[in-house]
Amino acid sequence: MTKYEALNKYFGYTEFRPSQDTVIDALLAGRDVLGVMPTGAGKSICFQIPALLLPGITIVISPLISLMKDQVFQLRKGNIPVAFINSSLTKEQYYEVLRRVGIGQYKIIYVAPERLATEDFLKFAIDTLISLVAVDEAHCVSQWGQDFRPSYLKISEFIDKLKVRPTIGAFTATATEDVKKDIVRYLDLYDPVSLTTGFDRPNLYFGVEKPKNKLKYFHELIASREGQCGVVYCATRKSVDSVCADLRRRGISAGRYHAGLDDVERRINQDNFIQNNISVIVATNAFGMGIDKPDVRYVIHYNMPKNLENYYQEAGRAGRDGKSSECILLFSEDDIKTAEFMTQDAGKNSGLNVKDQRKVQRQDIKRLDCMIRYCEIDGCLRSYILNYFGEKQRMRCGNCSSCLKPSLWNRWFGR
């Protein structure tokens, strides 16, 4: 089977995007890869196609149980032989997955990074032909990154213990130059093919609004977009529940999604959103990874995120079909307090000593400062984002709330 036959058979496409073609060819040729590909660029296909064509199995390292469950669910709908191993499995289910790998029933196994350090999984891996290790959310390996996880630092140790070194593909949606260097260093990539697709999404409008009455303004935004599909991000689970309940009281078909809900409700709400049974999903940042819904016309952040990396990834879930879409952030001073609290809490990482915890926290504070500045600047928002990620821009984009004065409120309501 060729890569084009696999693409058509399992994913229903006839052509690759140029960036996908480059990465897939490199992995099939045994070259390590560092792929920085913003949300919507189709980075998962870059390791899923090689996984189907290479001998043996591919291990995909993923940081979140919800993410790996979502991706495995979607792949199984396409009849792709895939499974996951995480703490949600019973001991019997875990060993059944390993047994099925042994008889060639699965080609792709999703695992959490912590699993690599367990004795029984290492024994299994040593005795199994592993052609490719794909590290998803690879920025987690860097203390400069927004979601640093010490367990990612153990990935290279795991690979060193295998009988034959597999090809390694490292993928992330957002990474600064410092984070890219850390990914290559800590994952021990050999002369990797490094590809960074452009961060600019010209079809997306970026807006920051500072309404005196956030809830009233929010209701006006949602009401004026009746019939459109949208995602509303909130900073906390409590806010998700409150905002979703409020929308339902107003007759809006809305669902909620956060890690505090059971798997059944999350799955039902997610499927209802993807199948257009509901028009709005209200969620924490637990929602969206691995979800390919092309017709999201707007993403509203009800609260300011902790950093631009998270914001751009979440906002980028709008307009994946290339059509005009909106990314609107509703900013208030209270958002700063919430983000500061969440940043301090995130710095308390049990896998780090006190010195490293402080280092990570300092980086988190710097990122938060950059996020606040985004909300407060008068200059072009798109240029600010692109400059942050190393794409030097000086021109005004003409498609953000700073460039398009008067405000979004005036654009929509003529006030």
Q: Which CATH architecture has domain 204-413?
A: 3-Layer(aba) Sandwich (3.40)
- Confidence band for 390, pLDDT divided at 50, 70 and 90: confident
What integer is the mean pLDDT of 203-232?
94
Helices 263-274 and 65-77 sit at what angle, rounded to 10 degrees?
50
Three-state SS string over 235-260 comes to CCHHHHHHHHHHHHHCCCCEEEECCC
* Contact between 307 and 370 (Cβ < 8 Å): yes
Among the listed residues 108, 69, 80, the one whose alpha carbon sits nearest the alpha carbon of residue 12: 80
What integer is the mean pLDDT of 117-134?
93
pLDDT tops 80 at residue 194: yes
Q: What is the pLDDT of residues 335-385, one digit of tens each?
A: 888 888 877 765 555 566 777 777 778 888 888 999 999 999 989 999 999
* Bridge partners, residue 230, by sequence: 280, 298
- Confidence band for 259, pLDDT divided at 50, 70 and 90: confident
Peptide bond into 63 cis (omega under 30): no
- With vertex at residue 128, the alpha carbon angle to CA 123 and CA 129, rounded to the nearest 5 degrees, is 145
- Confidence band for 406, pLDDT divided at 50, 70 and 90: low
d(CA 177, CA 189): 16
Note the pLDDT of residue 289.
Answer: 62
Among the listed residues 70, 15, 10, 63, the one whose alpha carbon sits nearest the alpha carbon of residue 292: 70
* Contact between 388 and 309 (Cβ < 8 Å): no
| Better-scored residue on pLDDT, 281 or 14 | 281
Q: What is the pLDDT of residues 294-328, one digit of tens each?
A: 899 999 999 999 999 889 989 989 998 889 999 99
What's the chain's average pLDDT? 87
What integer is the mean pLDDT of 156-179?
91
Which positions ≥6 away from 297 have C-beta within 8 Å?
Answer: 225, 228, 229, 230, 318, 319, 323, 325, 326
| Better-scored residue on pLDDT, 414 or 302 | 302
* Contact between 320 and 17 (Cβ < 8 Å): no
Note the pLDDT of residue 394.
Answer: 72
Which positions ≥6 away from 379 have C-beta within 8 Å?
Answer: 396, 402
Mean pLDDT lowest among 189-193, 214-218, 245-249, 404-408:
404-408
Structure tokens at 320: 């994946």
| Better-scored residue on pLDDT, 125 or 292 | 125
Note the pLDDT of residue 176.
Answer: 80
* Contact between 298 and 326 (Cβ < 8 Å): yes
Mean pLDDT lowest among 66-75, 135-144, 170-179, 275-284:
66-75
Note the pLDDT of residue 290.
Answer: 57
* Count of residues in the chain: 415
- Per cent of the chain over pLDDT 70 is 92
Considering the four listed CATH numbers 3.40.50.300, 3.90.930.12, 3.60.21.10, 3.20.20.80, the one that applies to the domain covering 3-196 is 3.40.50.300
* Bridge partners, residue 300, by sequence: 232, 328
pLDDT tops 60 at residue 13: yes
What integer is the mean pLDDT of 100-116?
91
Hey, is 334 helix, strand or coil?
helix
d(CA 235, CA 328): 15
- Confidence band for 415, pLDDT divided at 50, 70 and 90: very low
Sequence ranges of the domains in the chain: 3-196, 204-413
| Better-scored residue on pLDDT, 272 or 198 | 272
pLDDT tops 50 at residue 414: no
Hey, is 350 helix, strand or coil?
coil
Q: In what order do the strands lie in the sheet with 57-61?
A: 82-85, 108-111, 57-61, 130-135, 167-172, 33-36, 193-196
pLDDT tops 50 at residue 409: no
* Bridge partners, residue 325, by sequence: 204
- Per cent of the chain over pLDDT 90 is 51
- Secondary structure (DSSP) of 295-329: T--EEEESS--SSHHHHHHHHTTS-TTSS-EEEEE
- Confidence band for 143, pLDDT divided at 50, 70 and 90: confident
Q: What is the pLDDT of residues 16-69, one digit of tens each?
A: 887 899 999 999 999 999 999 876 667 889 999 999 999 999 999 988 776 777
